[in-house]
Amino acid sequence: MFFWKIKELKNALIRRELSEGQVFGYVLIFVLLNAVAVEVTRYSSPEYVGVWDYINSFFGISIVLWGAIFSYRANGGASGVDFAARFLSISLVVLIRHMFFIFPIALIFYVYIFYSSQKGVNTEQVIIKEEVGVGVVLFVIWYINIYQSVIKNIREVARA
């Protein structure tokens, strides 16, 4: 793998010398670094960090790792073709479709928080008690569901 020498990487790409396994390595490292970067931002205000944040980070990174590995296997592993193209394009469409369903749920929750604050309820307590644990569990279920759908669709394309 090339981590610094972009010229050698470009030449290898031009000559189509990268195997599916090597492409998978680049994709895996890319998605993991993105997942870690997203999770690191969670800890920018340490006074608000709790155990649920660590649980969420663990699952967020783990799901990305295993989702990418199982997607690669669903594509046929080292003998598969076009892993990066399939993984990235299918993942984007699946994510957009899943976001379509998560937005109404989030809207209902935030409307609930808004009306609770209007009635004098301490919204910080509502968020801490109801959102954190439940939110993490729902996020994990949602994220797993996204990767299950990605894997299923990649498998169908690979078998076609």
The pLDDT tens digits for 22-71 are 999 999 999 999 999 999 988 887 777 888 889 999 999 999 999 999 99
pTM, two decimals, is 0.81
Is 123 a member of any domain?
A: yes
Q: How confident is the prediction for the chain on average, in pLDDT? A: 87
How many CB atoms neighbour CB 73 within 10 A? 16
The three-state secondary structure class of 65 is helix
Residue 14 buriedness (CB in 10 A; 0-12 / 13-18 / 19+): exposed
Rounded CA gap, 95 and 143, in Å? Answer: 9
Is residue 17 domain-resident? yes
**Going by C-beta distance under 8 Å and a sequence separation of 6 or more, which residues neighbour residue 81?**
20, 75
Give CA–CA dist 12/9, Å, rounded. Answer: 5
Asked if residue 1 belongs to a domain, the reply is: no
How large a percentage of the chain has pLDDT more than 70? 91
Domains: count for the chain: 1
Residue 85 lies in a domain: yes
pLDDT at 122 over 80: no
Domain extent, residue 73, equals 6-159
**Residue 47 maps to a domain:** yes
Establish if 96 belongs to a structural domain: yes
